[in-house]
Amino acid sequence: MTDPADLTVTIVDGYVDEPAHFGVPPYISTYPRFTAGAVVDAGVPESNVVYHTIDELREDRQKWRDVADADLMIYIGGMTVPGKYVGGTPAEPDEVRELAWVAEGTALMGGPIRFGVGDENAGGQDMERKDLDYDFVAKGDIEAAAFDLVESGLEGFGNRMRDNEELDRWAAKGAFVVEQHPNHPEYLICEMETSRGCAYRCSFCTEPLYGNPAFRTADSVVKEVENLYNRGARHFRLGRQADILAFGGDGEAPNPDALRRLYGGIREVAPDLGTLHLDNVNPITIVGWPEKSREALRIIAEHNTAGDTAAFGLESADPLVQEENNLNVSADECFEAVKIVNEVAGWRPGDDPTDAPTHGPDAANRLPKLLPGINLLHGLKGEREETFEHNKRFLQRVYDEGLMVRRINIRQVMAFDGTDMSDTGADIARDHKQLFKQYKQEVREEIDRPMLRRVAPPGTVLPNVHLEYHQDGRTFGRQLGTYPLLVGIPGERELGKNIDIAVVDHGYRSVTGVPYPLDFNDASMDELTAIPGIGRSTAGDIVVNRPYADAGEVGNVGVDADISKYVQ
């Protein structure tokens, strides 16, 4: 029997991406934090717990010694929705298997990877359950398995789900792990769980496999935020739930009072937080309880930080696909929900909330407080050529009505055992691959770019853009938050820094920006020519006539462009 006090534990984070849970950097998911707290609660000293991301292990082979030497190596990962990532690269199956081979102690695997593994982390795939050569695979909660395994002296565990009392302890005890994340503290956002499970049963989704919604108390979540805040965390996302509006209720109807306790409590214990965002909102909740939803949305917009996104799972605007996949919201209902969020929370800091949605030349130069995001999923049962037209008509209607959505997420299904899509698999997605690519490009050109111009017009200021990488003579970065805009900045700037930028141009899902406020005595030619209305000739005149006592003098060299948006 191994004494827990003598155990060494290495947790490897291969990253997760679920319908209601995100953990690819700059995010850290709940799983490694809860698991670390569980093993500490079982008796392992905090100092004996090592945490590494898969990217750390790729970059520094010496850190594999922590994998090899640990008495217990715990791998956490799994992608149940496909995505493209900038801040990190999720572990591929071969890498996960290599971890098990290297580990000389006991190897435990868990997280959403238990639902299935494909050949790669991409859409349009059939997923299978595989043990990948691990000693133990947690078929229930990885944190519960880790706790029981340590308590048993590494002899075994029964697959089970943890209860909320355990979760409260483990969430508190595991906060220390964030200090070991390579992004800590400046560029790390903590995914927070308010509930898991779902009251609905869409055909493709893995969230119902967690059962009906099980809510934490507001006090429990607030206490976890306080512990993380005390460990240096400043960025938080309430992303681990199927529907934030249903928090503290029956799983369907909104509970504004519970949200007031949750958001107000977070602001009290984390007074200097940098980000407070959310993820999932079920549009059927808004349509079913419009007045309660309006109150709940007002509370969120009062306490959150700007640029927040409420992801709506429309999935398909085609009535046939909706029926065959048990989707719970129609296109008309989703449109109504989009409208309500715009009317309540689509205002910008500096604007009057009663004027929402605010956009156009008189709007403040910040992103709106909270906008919907639209999820569209392809390869579902019943999909046909008309499905793509239904979706495009819905998106065009939203735009034509003067409404805003923060982003449109178009992806193909991943088929998992235990969901209704397991019988159909990814066959439809594969058959429609070419049609899907053409349609996706049309949406990007016809909807995404004009919508982005509405949401973030030239002159919109994005504070604290973290500079991540160089490409083609430009520097790219993002703010922390839910679905942040990718920002391209002319020139190669020092990476790892945060700067404020002002938007000057738009791609399909990204923007070009210049430093804000722009110093016309120091700006490069590329930065000057990025400003709408300034060509290379005018930019040359600006450079030749330096210095300027103030931005007003720049106009004396024949600048016709409106530069007031780019100076304070």
Q: Output the DSSP codes for 461-488.
A: EEEEEEEEEEETTEEEEE-SSSSPPEEE
Higher pLDDT, 532 or 207: 532
**pLDDT for 127:** 40
DSSP state letters, 225-239: HHHHHHTT--EEEEE
Query: Of the CATH numbers 3.30.750.200, 3.10.20.310, 3.30.230.10, 3.40.50.300, which one belongs to the domain with range 306-455?
Result: 3.30.750.200
Angle at 337 between CA 389 and CA 220, to 5 degrees: 125
CB 482 within 8 Å of CB 278: yes
Stronger pLDDT, 274 or 411, i.e. the higher one: 274
Residue with tokens 């569980």: 38
Query: In which band, very low, low, confident or very high, does the pLDDT at 122 lie, cut at 50, 70 and 90?
Result: very low
The encoded tokens of residue 258 equal 């519970």
Average pLDDT rounded to a whole number, residues 422-435: 73
Q: Do the first three CATH levels of 1-187 and 460-556 match, i.e. the same topology?
A: no
* pLDDT score of 119: 46
Q: Report the pLDDT value the prediction gives residue 207, as an integer from 0 to 100.
A: 56
- What mean pLDDT do residues 205-227 have? 82
pLDDT at 414 over 70: no
Give the pair of three-digit tokens for residue 507.
């791609």
With H, G, I as helix, E, B as strand and everything else as coil, classify residue 15: strand
CB 142, CB 74: distance < 8 Å: yes
Other CB atoms within 10 Å distance of the CB of residue 198: 27
Task: Name which residue leads in pLDDT, 414 or 33.
Answer: 33
Q: Which two tokens stand for residue 276?
A: 């407070």
Mean pLDDT on 78-106? 88
Spatial distance between the Cα atoms of 17 and 24, rounded to a whole number of angstroms: 7
Q: Given this model, what pLDDT does residue 562 score?
A: 85
Handedness of CA 275, 276, 282, 287 (dihedral sign): negative
Question: What does pTM read for this prediction?
Answer: 0.91
Per-residue pLDDT of 337-391, as tens digits, reads: 999 999 999 999 999 999 999 999 999 999 999 999 999 988 888 889 999 999 9
Q: Where are any strands of DSSP class E within 274-399?
A: 275-278, 308-315, 370-378
Helix (H, G, I), strand (E, B) or coil at 124: coil
- pLDDT, mean of residues 288-309: 97
Architecture of the structural domain at 1-187? 3-Layer(aba) Sandwich (3.40)
121: pLDDT strictly greater than 70: no
Using CA atoms, how far apart are residues 502 and 527, in angstroms rounded to an integer?
11
Instruction: End-to-end CA distance of the chain: give it in Å, rounded.
Output: 67
E strands of 103-171, at which residues?
Answer: 106-110, 125-126, 136-137
The percent of residues above 90 in pLDDT, for the chain, comes to 73
pLDDT higher than 70, residue 300: yes
Q: Which residues are 51's β-sheet partners?
A: 11
Identify the band that residue 116 occupies on the pLDDT scale cut at 50, 70 and 90: low
Residue 5, class by beta-carbon neighbours within 10 Å (0-12 exposed, 13-18 middle, 19+ buried)?
exposed
Q: Does the pLDDT at position 82 exceed 80?
A: no
pLDDT at 379: 83
Per-residue model confidence (pLDDT) at position 426: 67
Euclidean distance between CA atoms 50 and 70, whole angstroms: 9
The average pLDDT across 77-102 equals 87
Kindly list the distances between the CA atom of residue 148 and the CA atoms of 31, 143, 144, in Å, as whole numbers in the listed order: 16, 9, 6
Three-class secondary structure of residue 239 per DSSP: strand
* Domain ranges within the chain, ordered by starting residue: 1-187, 192-277, 306-455, 460-556
- With residue 16 as reference, give the H or E element that holds it: strand 9-18
Give the SS3 label for residue 498: strand
pLDDT of residue 24: 95
Structure letter (DSSP) for residue 402: T
CA 301-307-309 angle, to 5 degrees, is 75
pLDDT number for residue 112: 82
Sign, Cα dihedral of 408, 411, 415, 420: positive
**Does residue 149 contact residue 72 with C-beta atoms inside 8 Å?**
yes
Distance CA(49)–CA(70), nearest Å, equals 9
Residues 60-84, mean pLDDT to the nearest whole number: 91
In this structure, what DSSP letter does residue 247 have?
T
Token pair of 496 as six digits: 């790892």
CATH 1.10.1060.10 fits 460-556, yes or no: no
Give the three-state DSSP class for 200.
coil
| Mean pLDDT score across all residues of the chain | 90
Nearest Cα to Cα of residue 108 among 27, 210, 193, 39:
39
Q: Is the pLDDT of residue 156 over 80?
A: yes
pLDDT tens-digit map of 467-511: 999 999 999 999 999 989 999 999 999 999 999 999 999 999 899
pLDDT of residue 486: 96
Residue 118: predicted pLDDT? 46
The number of CA neighbours under 13 Å toward the Cβ of 278 is 31
- Inform me whether the pLDDT recorded for 416 exceeds 60: no
